[in-house]
Structure 1
């Protein structure tokens, strides 16, 4: 009798899980309709910072902001110091910092993570003194619906986890315990995965990412600072080095030269004797 009761409760828990997922999907379909940019409820205006659901509960919008800037500067160190001041002012931190040399320029590339509420003021601060941007990209992604969906499914999985824990406390047979524990293990893996998704999403929401690349153009050395006299002197040195290399090459093959001279002298002497 108890075995049948446990099986019936397991069946009920599985059905409840499917029903919970269906309800979450239905709620998200309704929520997706209720995401206006600006909505008037009675005499109260709801701005872009959030909206209210059917139960009059304010839900904060989840926005991911990213920026990508590239511009030329006269002094790399001065620009870097300006960025450090803006970083400190905006309560941000530098995540990556690299520098290098391209064809005709030297550059520095910095990745900054900054609280989202300070994003716009930070962009304004580092733009001070910039004549124009080679590249300026500002992206904002609204992930409110996705965040609510994951959060709702996470709550449903936790409720299901509690039901299986109750079933496990009532199980008497080893086979029933093993079956319930297997289901619990699968549910807990899903819970951990969704919690990880929420943490990652919340990190990107709370901290915006801005990549800043600034560079300085440098003149090519070749053909710019070399005078005509320097070119003549370089040509003279090149000729001298050429002669030196020629004689050094002769020294390396001197045995063959001696043999060639001896053969030439021997053949010439024999040829003179025949003519006499």
Structure 2
């Protein structure tokens, strides 16, 4: 006959066996579970080099800890930007200068010669001529940041400086963040290509990986374009030059004659405008009269035809 103590130990043993079996089954289910990740999961896996492929099921599974949050990445990027030395920072330098010169064309040629001397180039230029035959315009040039101050000093010698300013835009933090995102996306792309190279019969998984690969490739191109733009802005400083041709001092008598000349020119233009308007109206009236006469003749013909009937 079994004692109460033996029954108690038997019950405890049975419970322990059931618990152990349950734990083993849960562990197997957890290890064997593998599905194609969503867009965000792809990036988190590949960034941590933790994506793997289950050959038995033909699916991806994760074997790495989760990726750091976007906030943590941004904070790390900020810390890196603050620790960079002053001579290694990413700076965009821009200057503006307004000049008054005696002759616009000669000054523009001098600026073009200076740009060649400083190994830069003219980004854009424009010229305007007023009614009283005075020229003005704008010229934007690109030079190396190391030549910025020397070039600006040479501009001062072309004429009277009306205004002058310069400013620097520090894009170090933005540049570091851009590089970090680009490198992360390149790692994701590399891992996705490795996954595609593994043979699997699961068409759905292949289509999902190819879709994600296309999205990551597009993102990489956008990041590369933005980085190239920043590199161009950092590598060359911009100087915007506004030029006004110096106006002659007008005496009282000369000013009076100029007013008469402008008044006469305005009167002639007004007379031409009025005359052309009158001619247009007369032409329109003649055309309307002809159409009216034709219409009256047609009506008279119709009435005469009806009377005969």
- 1:216-271: CA deviation from partner (whole Å, max 9, x where unpaired): 144579962666xx99xx9xxx9xxxxxxxxxxxxxxxxxxxxxxxxxxxxxxxxx
Aligned-residue RMSD, C-alpha: 3.4
Q: Report 1:117-132 matches (<5 A).
A: 117-132=146-161
For the 8 Å contact 2:78–2:173, the answer to whether it is kept is: no
Structure 1 partner of 2:93? 65
CA distance in 1, matches of 2:96, 2:111: 14
Query: Normalization by structure 1: what TM-score?
Result: 0.65
Aligned residues: 209
Structure 2 vs 1, CA of residues 83 and 193 (structure 1 numbering), >3 Å: closer, same or farther?
same
CA distance in 2, matches of 1:33, 1:206: 21
Unaligned stretches of 5+ in structure 1? Answer: 36-45, 51-60, 239-276
CA distance in 1, matches of 2:69, 2:219: 13
Q: 2:67 aligns with which of 19, 22, 41?
A: 19
Structure 2 vs 1, CA of residues 144 and 65 (structure 1 numbering), >3 Å: closer, same or farther?
same
Structure 2 vs 1, CA of residues 21 and 125 (structure 1 numbering), >3 Å: closer, same or farther?
farther
For the 8 Å contact 1:24–1:153, the answer to whether it is kept is: no
CA distance in 1, matches of 2:179, 2:73: 10
CA distance in 2, matches of 1:85, 1:126: 12
Structure 2 partner of 1:190? 219
Q: 2:78 aligns with which of 25, 29, 34?
A: 29
Which of the two has greater strand per residue? 1
Structure 2 partner of 1:116? 145
Q: Which is higher, the Rg of structure 1 or of structure 2?
A: 2
Specify which structure has the bigger relative contact order, considering alpha-carbon pairs within 8 angstroms and separated by 6 or more residues.
1
Alignment of 1:214 with 2:214, yes or no, is no
For the 8 Å contact 1:106–1:218, the answer to whether it is kept is: no
Structure 2 vs 1, CA of residues 197 and 12 (structure 1 numbering), >3 Å: closer, same or farther?
closer
Q: 1:205 aligns with which of 211, 229, 234?
A: 234
